[in-house]
Structure 1
Amino acid sequence: MNNSMMLKKATYHLWTFTISKLIASFGSQVYSFAISFYILQATGSAKSFALNLICNVLPRTIAAPFAGYIIDKYPRKRIAIISQIATTLAIGGLLVVSVTFGLSLTAIYITTCLLSLTSMFSSVAFTSSITGLVDEARIQKAMSLNQMSVSFAAIASPAVGGLLYGVISMPVFLIFYMAASTASIVLDATMNFTLFASQKSETLDTQKESMWKGMKAGVSYLKLQPMLTTIIWIALLVNFLFSAYQVGYSFILIEKLKMLSHHFGFTEGAFAVGMLLLSIYLSIRKEIKFPLLVSKRGIALMGVVMGSTTLPLLFTMSYNIMFGYYILLQFVLGVCIVFVNTPTQVMMQKQIADEYKGRVFSLIETVAMALSPLGMVIYGFLYDVFPAEWVLLLSSGVCVCVVLILLRTAVIRRVHPELKAEIVVKKNAEAF
């Protein structure tokens, strides 16, 4: 295939991948919205709702390292499609149960566990295949469009779910999700996952290698990459500290400040809008030159936003000013998260060897999620014992210190040696 044909195919991949992700994400989030409301209405129990969240997080956290090995060993397109088919079958099974016996919490929990696993396999398989689907010059655009589709789904799905819930039955919600999943399968099947990948990267040469040895090889590869090790430590610590924000934000706005439920929903929507607009911006601008430097500034700003959440507790504000203030904070936080994640992911796509991408990305996902459940439990206890503003301010300060230490100037220059040269050129230009 000549170069012009490959570039045309890459353009097709770019938009097909985006549409597929949008359809799948939209169907998934509308389903999640409906199931969450159903559990709360049927049981009135926060514990039942929380157990469903655990069923979504725990299976993928445990299985992610094994998934990485499988994704590196077998064709990624096959894994992505099989995962999406399994998603459709899982929802189909829940549909049959709901029509035959009626929905039960047990059936919902089992389905949530299955969907957690299938979505993790599909997500890591696609993430590991970006450099095979599109040319190197459009990796940032691909990552941005991927984030854009998820953000758009996050904005639109609660509105659609809220309009439809109570009007249509739960089986119709399930049929809607099955249709979206099926459409995603058809689109995924039309793409060539190895268009820009070398032959050896499509399947790992591990036919004689055990799963344990393959996983150890992935860890050994990580240890030889200081940049990846730094990113993993940041992901682990920052996600743990941001549990303070995840728990505290709702606690402060709903319990302490008595914000109305629909206004609280608007502040949550502002977060998704920030992510969407920044994703659009990154999809049309040139690639960011120094990703870790941008990430350092973005995480530091996220820490400041976390601490700023306490301002209405420390100083008196009118209700309307407080409402606008939290919309602004959530918007800025959404912008920061995309500024942190997208450039870093583009850098990793280019620097991680194709044959290790499945294991590396799955390990990063595992580590990023590992301490979040523990963090939520710990911070839930702390908010009951100590004033919310001091818990958040202390966590905010620690978060900023962590990123300033782990991404200190020496680390940034080691990863981006060209940064020092650029600074010298600018100083020389200013001298003249």
Structure 2
Amino acid sequence: MDNSNMLKKATYHLWTFTISKLIASFGSQVYSFAISFYILQATGSAKSFALNLICNVLPRTIAAPFAGYIIDKYPRKRIVIISQIATTLAIGGLLAVSVTSGLSLTAIYITSCILSLTSMFSSVAFTSSITGLVDEARIQKAMSLNQMSISFAAIASPAVGGLLYGVISMPLFLIFYMAASAVAIVLDATMNFTLFAAQKAETVESAKESMWQGMKAGVSYLKLQPMLMTIIWIALLVNFLFSAYQVGYSFILIEKLKMVSQHFGFTEGAFAIGMLLLSIYLSVRKEIKFPLLVSKRGIILMAAIMGGTTLPLLFTMSYNIMFGYYILLELGLGACIVFVNTPTQVMMQKQIADEFKGRVFSLIETVAMALSPLGMVLYGFLYDVFPAEWVLLLSSGLCVGVVLAMLRPSVIRKVHPELTEEKISKTNKYIKQKGVI
């Protein structure tokens, strides 16, 4: 295939990938909304609702390291399509149960576990295939469009789910989700996942490699990549510290400030809008030159926003000003998360060897989620014992300290040596201009 045809095919991939992710994400989130409402209405139990959340997270976290090995060993297109087919069949099974004997919590929990696994396999396989689907110049655009589709689904799905939930039956919800999943399968089947991937002959050793050996090889590869190890440690610690925000935000707005539930929903919607706007911006601008430096600044800004959440507790505000303030904070936080994640992901796409991408991305996902449940339990206890403002301010300060220590100037210069060259060039240019004047 000549270069112009490859670029045309890459453009097709770019938009087909985005549409497929949008349809799958939208269907998944509308389903999650409807199932959550159903569980709460049917049982009135927060424990039953929380158990469904655990079924969505725990299988994914446990299976991620094994998934990485499978994704690196077998064709990624096949994994994406099988995962989507499994999603469709799981929803079909739940539909059959609901029609024949009525929905049960056991059937919902089993389905949630299956969907957690299939979405993880599909997500990591797609992420690992970006450099095979599109040309190098448009990797940032692809990552931004991916984030944009997820953000748009996050904004629209609660509104659509809320609109439809009282109008149509649960079996009809499940049929809509199955239809969306089937469309995603068809779109995924039309893409060439190895269009730009380097073709490597499989050695006899790698063919005979056991799963345990493959996972060890992935960890060994990571140990030889100081930049990736730094990113993993930052993800682990920052996600843990941001549990303070995840727990504290709802606690402060609902319990302390008595915000109306509708207004609270608007502030959470602003978060998704912030992510969407930044994703659109990054999809049309040129690639960010120093991603790790941008991520450092973005995390510091996120920590400042976390600390800023406490302002209405420290200073008296009118209700409307407080509401507007939290809208702005959530817009800013959503934008910052995309600003941190997208450039870092683009850098990793280019630097991680293709045969290790599945293992590396799945390991990063596992690590990023590993301490979050512990963080939520710990901060839930701390908010009961200490004033909320001090818990958040201390966590914000620790977050800034972690980033400044782990992304100190010497580390940034090691990853981006051209940054030093650019500074020297600018200094010389300034001296030259001063000399002419």
The match for 1:134 is 134
**Partners in 1 of 2:193 and 2:202 — Cα distance?**
8
Runs (4+) of structure 1 exceeding 3 A deviation are 201-205
Give the 5 Å matches for 1:120-159: 120-159=120-159
| Pairwise CA distance, 1:147 | 0.3
The CA deviation string for residues 225-268 of structure 1, in whole angstroms up to 9 with x for no partner, is: 00000000000000001111001100110111110111001100
**Partners in 2 of 1:56 and 1:84 — Cα distance?**
16
**Partners in 2 of 1:204 and 1:134 — Cα distance?**
30
**Partners in 2 of 1:186 and 1:224 — Cα distance?**
39
The match for 2:61 is 61
**Structure 2: which 5+ runs fail to align?**
none
The match for 2:162 is 162
For the Cα contact (< 8 Å) 1:201–1:354, is it kept in 2?
Answer: no
Which segment drifts farther, 285-294 or 101-110?
101-110
Which segment drifts farther, 187-196 or 199-208?
199-208
| Pairwise CA distance, 1:289 | 0.4
The CA deviation string for residues 206-240 of structure 1, in whole angstroms up to 9 with x for no partner, is: 22111000000000000000000000000000000
The match for 2:297 is 297
Aligned: 1:30 with 2:30: yes
The match for 2:235 is 235
The match for 2:430 is 430
SS in 2 for 1:235: helix
Which segment drifts farther, 208-217 or 40-49?
40-49
The match for 1:338 is 338
**Identity percentage of aligned residues:** 88
The match for 1:287 is 287
The match for 1:413 is 413
**Partners in 2 of 1:144 and 1:116 — Cα distance?**
23
SS in 2 for 1:162: helix
**CA distance change for structure 1 residues 202 and 278 in 2, over 3 Å: closer, same or farther?**
farther
**Partners in 2 of 1:203 and 1:116 — Cα distance?**
33
Which segment drifts farther, 166-175 or 342-351?
166-175
Q: Output the amino acid matched with 1:132.
A: G
The CA deviation string for residues 159-192 of structure 1, in whole angstroms up to 9 with x for no partner, is: 0001111111111111111111000000000000
**CA distance change for structure 1 residues 203 and 135 in 2, over 3 Å: closer, same or farther?**
farther
| Pairwise CA distance, 1:203 | 10
For the Cα contact (< 8 Å) 1:69–1:214, is it kept in 2?
Answer: yes
For the Cα contact (< 8 Å) 1:194–1:202, is it kept in 2?
Answer: no
The match for 2:190 is 190
SS in 2 for 1:198: coil
SS in 1 for 2:207: coil
**CA distance change for structure 1 residues 182 and 316 in 2, over 3 Å: closer, same or farther?**
same
**Partners in 1 of 2:118 and 2:386 — Cα distance?**
40
Q: Output the amino acid matched with 1:35.
A: I
Please, what is the CA RMSD of the aligned residues?
1.1
In the superposition, the TM-score normalised over structure 2's length comes to: 0.98
**CA distance change for structure 1 residues 122 and 133 in 2, over 3 Å: closer, same or farther?**
same
In the superposition, the TM-score normalised over structure 1's length comes to: 0.99
**Partners in 1 of 2:3 and 2:65 — Cα distance?**
36
The match for 2:394 is 394
